[in-house]
Amino acid sequence: MEKIEKSGFLLVDKPPNLTSRKVIDKLKEKFSFEKIGHTGTLDPFATGLLVLAINKATRFVEYLQKEKKAYQALLELGKISFSYDIEMPVMYVHNLKVPRKEEVEKILSQFKGKQNQIPPEISAKRVKGRRAYEVFRKERKLLNLKPKEIEVYEIFLLDYDFPYLSLYTLVSSGTYIRALARDIGKALKTGAILKDLRRVSIGSLSISQAKSLKELLSLNKKELEDLIMPIDQALSFEPYFLSKKDAKRFLNGNKVFLSNKLSGLFKVYEKDKKTFLGIAKIASGCLYPLKVLK
């Protein structure tokens, strides 16, 4: 088994009917990794961008998890299910009024902005240490989950041919598109299930940069390593360059005093070598190491 030594992020176009964990398992059947994980799961029936963290990149997963995510979603109106998608048996809504395109567009526009969203009762959400879907599977019981604040940055109609409604949405981390479909169905008074879902971007990373799982499994070690994106290239923070002396302080986990008024998170580099060193927070004239790459 060929061992992958490079660290970084691998962009996969996940196929349908496969869990995110199964994608990793299939790659591990051919290649050996010191560490490998993903930066945000996709439901089994969903397709699209799945970003895998390879080796040292696993330490930086949290930053990609917090990025905005864009999806193309297909809703089917007039149906409901306990999971709000096609993964559980569906029920028909009778005697419904077919909404006009203008009504659909008006309702969709109302979902733009910050809002409280109740996660799907059948999800990986933890309640008292137990995942909601595990409780349902074992006890056939739905948990009452607390609303969580999310933000929909963009949402617009791509196509509408009743009962099918296709939309694009850019959302904050933690947003459930299944729950968004549920709420759109309620607002339209038709009910709705999520029939198809494709993730098209995470932060600055696009599905156009991804390779299919089948293609990745056909590669040798060198070919796969050539596709692994350097850690810093996948992160969207601004760069900050340190002198050799300050870079050494940073790598030792010590704060660096600055003479500027910058603030926020930055990618840190050594100025002379332009070597990526890690992630830092700048505040009150100091640079504080958060993640150091050694």
CA nearest 71: which of 187, 183, 196, 159? 196
40: Cα within 13 Å, side-chain hemisphere:
25
| Catalytic annotation present for 232 | no
Give the CA distances from residue 33 to residues 2, 25, 52, 213, 290, in Å, rounded to whole numbers and listed in that order.
9, 11, 12, 16, 25
The answer to whether residues 39 and 53 touch, using CB atoms and an 8 Å cutoff, is: yes
Q: How many CB atoms lie within 10 A of CB 235?
A: 23
Phi-psi category of 262—alpha, beta or left, where left has phi over 0 and alpha has psi -120 to 50?
beta
Task: Say which amino acid occupies 236.
Answer: S
Please name which of 2, 9, 67, 70 lies closest in space to residue 37, comparing C-alpha atoms: 9
Q: Where do we find the tokens 């309702």? A: 107
Catalytic residue among 43, 85, 232, 246: 43
1's tokens:
């088994």
| DSSP code of residue 173 | T
Instruction: Look at phi and psi of residue 17 and say left if phi exceeds 0, alpha if psi is from -120 to 50, else beta.
Output: left
Positions annotated as catalytic residues are: 43
